Structure 1
């Protein structure tokens, strides 16, 4: 099969690799029909993780079941399914508590938890930026789709990661009807957080970024765009909230945050959120942070540490939730919102391209080139 193989920093090629196959009785084999390039993939693409050369990315995957193991009871050949990026067993202590994002079975390092397809330090699982994908514990990990699965695949593929992740940010932030919510980052996850805040009834959603194409997308769903290259975002939020600060906020950028001058500052968005959110407000952090970052610009960040404004955070009595999203906690209800026409996460999609065009797509998406807001790769599609 063909796959998008990582050859080193900012180098990927589409090449032949061994076919994915059924390896255990509980496996499901999926022919991938849509697989997204994620902002998290860029950390690995840029060489900012220990992702091994020769492996392939792809944790946002959707496709058709073409084979099932003898131990699979629910999922059948021909089903259209979307796969949570979390690889999870369904029966460990964390999975039984609904924390499939911290599965202890799928993660081979005993001291760690959590696994994902095609992701650094998240187990040996092959990615789905390929023609085929092996799905372990298939009955647990496959979310079956309805008759509109092919027609609306650009919406449903967002259930693999970014839509539930954006929703998880608003869940941790406690967004409730009538709230005023600020979101730092208008990448795909930030835009999904803005959509989720709207779905949850926020009266005002403010989105901070500096890329005009992304801010236009935020405005298209009714959010207030704040360009931090033109104004102080904290002051802008305070002006929008009678000087009190937002009721809650979401961090959707992560450890490679940059200031408007282009300097990397991993603490930038977190500290601005502390300033932007009111006393006793809540913050949900879904942007990726890592225990070690050898490519960081300062010594603290190289050790996975940042200069967090904890004094002000404590003084304001704020609460913060963090970590990867337990996709299975949300994907079924979000699927049903899509099916009912209540949510259309595909509004962020700028390109749907054949798998062979992945190297070009990575270059544009990594450069944040204008108009490259979200890329779906389509194995089997021709140019």
Structure 2
């Protein structure tokens, strides 16, 4: 099969690799029809993780079931399925509690597993023609009939839509709340959309990329351009000096200041400054235990200079970590099915798999107009 393989920093290539196949009785084999490039993929693409050369990338996947293992009971050949990026077993202590992003079985010795992701187990990614899905009955979200017409909406259920929603859950967003969101990338935009769904009275989105801020405005959010570094003052002005009721971090450890210099603690400390006393903060941007490519010693160890004293003094609350996609994807799927939401509005490019290296390069450069890329393994130029 053809698949996108990571060779090293900023070096990916579509090449022929051995076909994905059923390996265990509980596996499902899926023919991939849509697979997204995620901002998290860029951390690996840039060499800022311990991703091993030769791995297949891609954790946002959707396709058709073409084979099932002998122990698979619910999922059938021919089903169209969307796959949570985190792989869960369905029966461990965490999965039973709905915390499938921290499965204790799928990646022994670690809490959490994912497709094509550094440190998240040996599983191949889905930027390929076929994908092996472990624990298929648990991990496959079977889509409704006619889902092909909304495929680019449904594939967002694999990660960014539930992750954006998760940010608002961690932050404790309620109807009537004011919300500040750092990051107008795909996850930040999905967090803004989710806050609006929950009835937030005011949603503010902070970024330095004007094209992305324009998308936030289309949602009805207040776009705050932090190019000059005065975003904190603007948010306090809009909230009467007290700060937003809730805040979401949707950027991660490679966030940059107005000079495009990496400042890993920037968004975290800005959230402490712009969320009110006793307010909630939800952090879904990726922060890693080690960052070998960082410049200073703290960053290399995955640490940062965090304004903990101010955080403590304000009595704020914080929730962090990957989205437990299984906890949300069925609910969010119904919203798509009934035309209540259309997450595909953020998609800027749909490209054949063979153009993946070019897409990674442009997305990595934050090239204007490259917001969300969907790869189509079955599509030709």
Pairing 1:24–2:58 present: no
Q: For the residues of structure 2 that align with 1:297 and 1:350, how far apart are their CA atoms? A: 33
The match for 2:292 is 294
Question: What does the per-residue CA deviation read over 1:202-245, in whole Å, with 9 as the maximum and x for residues that have no partner?
Answer: 01100000111110110111110000004511111111111110
**1:281-320 equivalence runs, <5 A:** 281-320=279-318
The match for 1:54 is 54
Q: How much does 1:148 deviate?
A: 2.7
Q: How much does 1:342 deviate?
A: 0.7
Question: What does the per-residue CA deviation read over 1:190-209, in whole Å, with 9 as the maximum and x for residues that have no partner?
Answer: 00100000001101100000
The match for 1:260 is 258
Pairing 1:187–2:162 present: no
The match for 2:96 is 96
Contact kept? 2:229, 2:258, Cα under 8 Å: no
Pairing 1:75–2:75 present: yes
Contact kept? 1:264, 1:297, Cα under 8 Å: no
The match for 1:171 is 169
Partner SS for 1:150: helix
| Bigger mean CA deviation after superposition, 229-238 or 301-310 | 229-238
Q: How much does 1:380 deviate?
A: 1.2
Q: For the residues of structure 2 that align with 1:339 and 1:301, how far apart are their CA atoms? A: 43
Pairing 1:14–2:24 present: no
Q: For the residues of structure 1 that align with 2:296 and 2:203, how far apart are their CA atoms? A: 33
Q: For the residues of structure 2 that align with 1:352 and 1:375, how far apart are their CA atoms? A: 6
Partner SS for 2:328: helix
The match for 1:199 is 197
The match for 1:378 is 376
The structure 1 residue matched to 2:362, chosen from 350, 359, 364, is 364
The match for 1:45 is 45
The match for 1:143 is 141
The structure 2 residue matched to 1:208, chosen from 199, 206, 209, is 206
Q: How much does 1:147 deviate?
A: 1.8
Q: How many corresponding residue pairs?
A: 381
Pairing 1:321–2:319 present: yes
Contact kept? 1:30, 1:67, Cα under 8 Å: yes
The match for 1:248 is 246
TM-score scaled by structure 1? 0.99
TM-score scaled by structure 2? 0.99
Q: Which runs of 5+ in 2 are unaligned?
A: none
Question: What does the per-residue CA deviation read over 1:271-310, in whole Å, with 9 as the maximum and x for residues that have no partner?
Answer: 0000000000000000000111111121101011100000
Q: For the residues of structure 1 that align with 2:254 and 2:63, how far apart are their CA atoms? A: 31
RMSD (CA atoms): 0.7
Contact kept? 2:229, 2:257, Cα under 8 Å: no
